C-alpha cells in the first residue's frame, strides 16, 4: 500500500510540474506577443508624428516664403 501511495504522489508531482512549466511557457509567449505589439504601435506612432511634423514644417515654409 505504501508503494502505491508513493507512486501516486510522485506521478501527481510530475504532472503538476509539467503543467506549471507549460503555463510558464504560455505566459512567456503572451508577454512576447504583447512586447511585439507594443513595439509595432510605438513605431507606427513615431512615424505618424515624424511625418506630421515634416508636413507642418513644409506648410509653414510655404506660407512664409516670399515668392
3-state secondary structure the chain: CHHHHHHHHHHHHHHHHHHHHHHHHHHHHHHHHHHHHHHHHHHHHHHHHHHHHHHHHHHHHHHHCCC
- Residue 19, pLDDT score: 66
- Residue 26, pLDDT score: 80
Does the pLDDT at position 67 exceed 70?
no
- Residue 66, pLDDT score: 66
The full set of domain ranges for the chain reads 29-61
Entry pTM: 0.48
Please write the tens of the pLDDT for every residue from 2-49.
Answer: 888 888 888 877 777 776 777 778 878 888 998 899 899 888 898 888
Amino acid at each position: 500500500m505504501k508503494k502505491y501511495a508513493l507512486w501516486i504522489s510522485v506521478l501527481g508531482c510530475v504532472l503538476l510540474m509539467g503543467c506549471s512549466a507549460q503555463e510558464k511557457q504560455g505566459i512567456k509567449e503572451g508577454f512576447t506577443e504583447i512586447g511585439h505589439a507594443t513595439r509595432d504601435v510605438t513605431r507606427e506612432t513615431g512615424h505618424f508624428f515624424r511625418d506630421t511634423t515634416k508636413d507642418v514644417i513644409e506648410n509653414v515654409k510655404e506660407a512664409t516664403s516670399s515668392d
